Amino acid sequence: MSRREPLLTRRPVLAGLAAVVAAVAAGIGIDLVQPKHKRATGPYAGLVNNLDDPDSAAIIGTAILAHAANKTAAIHEAANFAKDRLKSETLSSALTVDAAQGFLTEVNGWVIPITLGALCVLAAA
């Protein structure tokens, strides 16, 4: 009778386990190095913090405000619009509805939902 080799031996199992541990450790290390979600401050922080990246939104908002005749009025209008729009639904659903209904705005070649535009203006304020 011949002796059968075991399907799994200790060395390959330990090597596989070490590879999994190394991959998890590398993933944790990468996650620790990445910058965390930056929070907005200021009078419109409650609205702006719905966005993942307020700094990038401020760049878009600055471009929108560059076309406004009265920046203070535009900021006030954006705040009222965003408050009203987001009081009864999430940002995600508001953006989906905006896109579906064609409520879009264009700034420097970017076409974005109007609710996102309003939040970008507030991020720039």
Segment 33-48, tens digit of pLDDT: 445 556 666 778 888 8
- Higher-pLDDT residue of 90 and 9 is 90
Residue 27 lies in a domain: no
Indicate if the pLDDT at residue 32 is higher than 90: no
Residue 7 lies in a domain: no
Specify the pTM: 0.68
- Higher-pLDDT residue of 45 and 20 is 45
**Residue-level pLDDT at 61:** 93
Domain with 99 in it: 45-124
**Residue-level pLDDT at 125:** 87
Number of separate domains in the chain = 1
Query: In the structure, what pLDDT confidence band is assigned to residue 5 with cuts at 50, 70 and 90?
Result: low
Average pLDDT, the chain: 80
At 97, list the tokens. Answer: 């509805």
Q: How far apart are CA 72 and CA 75, in angstroms?
A: 5
- Percent of the chain scored above 70 by pLDDT? 67
Q: How far apart are CA 113 and CA 29, in angstroms?
A: 36
